[in-house]
Amino acid sequence: MASGLKKYTNRKSSAFKIQITSMVDMFVILLVFLLRSYSTSPVNITPKQGLRLPESSSPADPADVLKMVVSTDGVFVEDKRVLSFKDGTIDKADTESTDPQFIRKLYEALDERAKLAKSIAKANDSFEFDGKILVQADRTLPYDMLKRVMYTSMMAGYSDVKFAVVSK
């Protein structure tokens, strides 16, 4: 019986080694795929229903700034309607008689936002009013209307106008 115990005690310790090389490769590929497809843009732009944005191949990401929508039925600043169009045009009552390019209601809404941003910038050193605005404009709008909207936004202090587009 003593010899029977001796058989089992002389066994060499065996270590079971797991081959994880292929599993590590799989996780690296998965990680690279997820990092490549992950968007780091802090801005989420959802076009209004019926709004058709123009196409572009620009790789630039939009910044988190004041958003203005110019659709075929009106102008919206941060999802609030500030101007309605009549038959796809700006009513003469909404423009200045001395300057027909200037849109009074749009100026008032943008000027209010600019004053709010400037007061926040005074209270908070990390925030700065830079006069940037992101415009979502329908591709069927005439250039003359967009020019009037941009002119009015520049008069209100928003001189850096960027347009939202759909990538090709």
- CA-based angle 124:117:99, to the nearest 5? 155
Q: Please indicate whether residue 64 or residue 120 has the higher confidence score (pLDDT).
A: 120
Stated pTM of the model: 0.67
**Contacting residues for 117 by C-beta, under 8 A, at least 6 apart:** 66, 127, 129
Q: Looking at the domain that runs over 55-167, which CATH code has it been given?
A: 3.30.420
- Per residue in 23-46, pLDDT tens? 888 889 999 888 877 766 656 666
Q: With beta carbons less than 8 A apart as the criterion, state whether 124 and 98 touch.
A: no
Strands in 66-70's sheet, in edge-to-edge order, are 80-84, 74-77, 66-70, 132-137, 160-163
- Per residue in 144-155, pLDDT tens? 999 999 999 999
What amino acid occupies position 128?
A: E
